[in-house]
């Protein structure tokens, strides 16, 4: 009797073990074949029709996983085709200004599910060698995206380079252009600080800001100094207005983007005709870093590089006063042209 019970038990265990192994082998085979399976419906079909007022949220896993693999060049042509992904020319460009907050603006806009950013500055329109490679070369530098998404790139040198407005106009005369500005004197000092840090890393000496910003012969503001010239926003904008109407520009307050980013981002969403998706949840103040960081979901967040928020060197107050007085009439004209007023001294 005992022998029969033991035999029956062994038989049951054998059957259960066989079923478990069979199920495991099926799952392995199933997972291995997923990439080869045709989807039951297209990506567009699963998300439904897209309209300007109702654009679906991207799956976070897809955005941070599959798209990342595509950007690294690890995707096959078949995968790209199945997911209906394309490399699109940008429908909006952050054209400047240097040290105005272009990287912060780009990263924050990337929180929006309908925005896909170029990860690096392309320097297509301001670099003659790159521009000579043609528009198809430029397009292939863009990230993969869904057709309904907006691709955005940023190259701050575009704003001050004379050839750029005409070149961008020839590509797309209706493109939307984003300019992010800061108080001109602060921006000039920030520009200087970045160059100074680069010199120090190479153990090179560099002039003090005061010596560069003020002409020693005339004791007036040195307009030949690039950091000063870049801060004369209206001069550069007037060149752009020869090709684009003011309605195609949106001015972002770079100072406010640092202290109160959400209202500025909501204005950009409206300008780009995007549904409001970025919320206060996506932005949190990091007391250690001293500025806002980005929250994509409960487990994924991101802060800008440590090079952001550099401490500026002390600058002689008389030089700051002279610079602010110099920039004042240009600022007033900038307010008139853009229709946006800033609390700049």
**CB-based contact 231:249 (threshold 8 Å):** no
* DSSP-derived secondary structure letter, 113: T
What average pLDDT does range 101-129 have in this prediction?
Answer: 96
CA 233 from centre of chain: 22
Q: What is the pTM of this model?
A: 0.78
Tell me the DSSP string of 209-260. Answer: HHHHHB-TTT-SB-TTSHHHHHT-HHHHHHHHTTTS-GGGEEEEEHHHHHH-
Residues 6+ apart with CB under 8 A from 309: 289, 290, 291
pLDDT for residue 116 is more than 50: yes
**Contact status, residue 235 vs residue 82, Cβ threshold 8 Å:** no
Q: Counting Cβ atoms within 10 Å, is residue 37 exposed (0-12), middle (13-18) or buried (19+)?
A: exposed
Cis ω for the linkage preceding 95 (within 30 of 0): no
Tell me: pLDDT of 81 over 70.
no
Rounded-to-integer distance, Cα 124 and Cα 250, Å: 21
pLDDT in tens, 211-245: 999 999 999 999 999 999 999 999 999 999 999 99
> Is residue 312 annotated as involved in ligand binding?
yes
CB 108 within 8 A of CB 283: yes
Q: Which of 4, 12, 72, 99 is catalytic?
A: 99
Q: Residue 28: is its pLDDT beyond 50?
A: no
Q: What is the CA radius of gyration of the chain?
A: 27
Domains of the chain (ranges; CATH) run 85-338 (3.40.50.300)
**CA–CA separation, 257 and 252 (whole Å):** 8
At 309, the pLDDT band (50, 70, 90 cuts) reads low
Rounded Cα distance between 128 and 114, Å, is: 31
Q: Is 290 annotated as a binding residue?
A: no
pLDDT at 298: 81
H-helix or E-strand spanning residue 179: strand 176-181
310 annotated as a binding-site residue:
yes
CB atoms inside a 10 Å sphere around CB 301: 13
Cβ atoms 152, 90 nearer than 8 A: yes
Extract the tokens encoding 54.
């109702």
Provide the pLDDT for residue 77: 62
Q: What is the pLDDT of residues 249-261, one digit of tens each?
A: 999 999 999 999 9
Residues, the chain: 345
Measure Cα distances from 19 to 16, 26, 28 in Å. Answer: 5, 10, 14
Task: Assess whether 91 carries a catalytic annotation.
Answer: no
Are the C-beta atoms of residues 100 and 180 closer than 8 Å to each other?
yes
Give the lowest-confidence range in 29-33, 140-144, 231-235, 313-317: 29-33
Q: Is 182 annotated as a binding residue?
A: yes
pLDDT at residue 47 in the model: 31
């Amino acid at each position: 009797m005992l022998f029969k019970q033991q035999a029956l038990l062994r038989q049951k265990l054998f059957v259960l073990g066989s079923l478990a192994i069979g199920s495991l082998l099926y799952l392995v085979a199933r997972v291995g074949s997923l990439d080869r399976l045709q989807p039951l419906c297209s990506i567009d079909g699963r998300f439904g029709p897209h309209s300007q007022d109702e654009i679906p949220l991207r799956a976070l896993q897809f955005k941070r996983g599959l798209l990342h693999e595509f950007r690294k060049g690890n995707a096959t042509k078949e995968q790209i085709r199945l997911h209906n992904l394309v490399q699109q020319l940008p429908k909006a460009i952050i054209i400047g200004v240097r040290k105005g907050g272009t990287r912060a603006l780009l990263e924050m806009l990337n929180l929006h599910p309908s925005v896909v950013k170029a990860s690096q500055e392309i320097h297509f329109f301001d670099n003659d060698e790159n521009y000579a490679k043609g528009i198809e070369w430029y397009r292939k530098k863009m990230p993969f995206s869904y057709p309904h998404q907006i691709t955005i790139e940023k190259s701050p040198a575009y704003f001050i380079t004379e050839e750029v407005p005409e070149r961008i106009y020839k590509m797309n005369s209706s493109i939307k252009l984003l300019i992010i500005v800061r108080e001109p004197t602060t921006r000039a000092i920030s520009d200087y600080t970045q160059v100074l840090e680069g010199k120090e890393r190479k153990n090179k000496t560099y002039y003090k800001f005061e010596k560069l910003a003020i002409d020693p012969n005339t004791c007036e503001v040195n307009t030949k100094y690039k950091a000063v010239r870049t801060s004369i926003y209206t001069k550069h904008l007037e060149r752009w207005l020869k090709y684009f109407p003011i309605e195609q520009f949106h001015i972002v307050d770079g100072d406010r983007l640092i202290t109160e980013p959400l209202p500025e981002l909501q204005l950009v969403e409206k300008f780009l005709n995007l549904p409001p998706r970025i919320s206060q949840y996506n932005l949190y103040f990091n007391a250690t870093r001293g500025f806002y960081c980005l929250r994509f979901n409960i487990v994924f967040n991101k802060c800008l590089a440590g090079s952001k928020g550099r401490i500026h060197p002390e600058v002689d107050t008389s030089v700051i006063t002279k610079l602010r007085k110099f920039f004042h009439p240009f600022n007033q004209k900038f307010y008139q042209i853009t229709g946006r007023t800033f609390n700049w001294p």
